[in-house]
Structure 1
Amino acid sequence: MQKPKLHLDVIVDVVCPWCFLGKRRLDAAIADLDDLDIEVRYRPFQLDPTIPEEGIDREEYIIGKFGSADALDEAHARLFGLGADVGITYAFDLIEKTPNTLDAHRLVRWAAAEGLGDPMLERLFSLFFEEGADLTNAETLVAAAEEVGLDGDEVTVKLEDGVDLDAVKADIAHAGRIGITGVPTVIVENRFAISGAQTSEVLVDALRRIAAELDATEG
């Protein structure tokens, strides 16, 4: 018997700590849903498209946006515990720069074309949140691309030539047009939306219900 299929578009930004948490929780949910055939495609979003191409000093950015350097301490403290539950070691103190994420999203796009979108996104999340890496640095991005199996020389040329920059911007604009204002957001079969970094249990239940509803409708 053929498994019911679900297509998920997961809208994320690589500098969103809740997106990293949400990805790990979704991975766990999918592992529990072996009776469903689930295809995931990650879509780009920018929490702050005004950040310059070269990024901005992290402390300066937080003070400018939230009023004080310790404005996010409470949220970060909560994330430490939630992250630990899914194997994430957040190291916010290592982050020196808040990047513009367009180039990182281009990397995910190219990796996805070769079936490597998931490990590419995972590596970028880990680089930023666990290692404090500068995601505006071309060498860092190329090294990450090579780690997951992309051709480094090819990625270098694409980054320099602006390949797919407009396509990524168009995807981000599309997310805005369909009403996405926060991430992560999981869109199922272009019909149902699950907002926020829901627990694996909530995701399993929601995806099962959606699969059953679609089966009943199509049946």
Structure 2
Amino acid sequence: MKNTAQVDITLDVICVWSYLAFTRYRRAAARFRAEGGHIDLTIRSWQVEPGAVGGESKLQQSLARFGERGVARVDALAAAEGIPLNFAEAVTADTAHAHHLIAMAAAQGLAEPMTARLFQAHFVDGAAVGDLDVLRGLAAETGVRWDPAVAVRWARDVTAVPVFRFNRKPALNGGALSEEALYGQLALTSAERQENVGGEG
């Protein structure tokens, strides 16, 4: 399809930097689609804390790691993106099952809204995104049919997230990309793909 941008995003739904970057991406994507663009999106999974103990206070964990200034900075960055972070209610989680849900959603063309809902569930609603019953509820809410046979697309070539790749080019640090930069990458990727299609004739 012409006017199509190919995008790979590697993320984890308990990573606040992934949430900020994904929020900016979704706004850029909405602009691109409003102008007639199409996005071929792949969500690749990576865990910040594989095997994490679930149910612990995200606020206490963040204070221990980043201090009060660090938490305040993250709060301010989120507010600038229109995200009402709720560290006081958020709890830690092993995200293996959440990534499995993203894979199920991807197989049904719903990876983007499902990922967005998982971020909101963890960071805003204080939901336990490592709990299967919670995830089944979120799946039903988003219109995703539960299908445990689907395999997760784990990223084995990164050491941190978020990571963006456009048109399978070298990886970019998603946390450093503004909404305008993301929109520019979508437009550039689309233009390159159209040139390639034209050159094949």
8 Å CA contact retained: 1:61, 1:98? no
1:196 and 2:195 equivalent? Answer: no
1:94 and 2:89 equivalent? Answer: yes
Letter in 2 for 1:140: V
1 CA distance for matches of 2:59 and 2:117?
26
Corresponding residue for residue 162 of structure 2: 184
2 CA distance for matches of 1:82 and 1:71?
15
Corresponding residue for residue 136 of structure 1: 130
1:116 and 2:110 equivalent? Answer: yes
Does 15-24 or 131-140 show the bigger shift? 131-140
1:183-207 deviations in Å (ceiling 9; x for gaps): 1111122223221232101112233
2 CA distance for matches of 1:69 and 1:135?
22
The alignment's C-alpha RMSD in Å is 2.6
Where does structure 1 lack aligned partners over 5 or more consecutive residues?
Answer: none
1:133-175 deviations in Å (ceiling 9; x for gaps): 1112222111111101134xx46xx4xxxx45xx32xx32xx2
Query: What TM-score comes out, normalization by structure 1 length?
Result: 0.77
CA spacing shift, 1:148–1:210, aligned 2, 3 Å: closer
1 CA distance for matches of 2:85 and 2:116?
13
CA spacing shift, 1:138–1:27, aligned 2, 3 Å: same
Offset at residue 73 of structure 1 (A): 3.1
Where does structure 2 lack aligned partners over 5 or more consecutive residues?
Answer: none
8 Å CA contact retained: 2:58, 2:88? no
Letter in 1 for 2:185: A
2 CA distance for matches of 1:37 and 1:200?
17
Counting only pairs closer than 5 Å after superposition, residues 141-160 of structure 1 correspond to structure 2 as 141-151=135-145, 154=146, 158=148
1 CA distance for matches of 2:52 and 2:60?
9
Letter in 1 for 2:20: L
Query: What TM-score comes out, normalization by structure 2 length?
Result: 0.83
2 CA distance for matches of 1:60 and 1:201?
31
Q: Report the secondary structure of 1:150's partner residue.
A: coil
2 CA distance for matches of 1:194 and 1:38?
18
Offset at residue 89 of structure 1 (A): 0.5
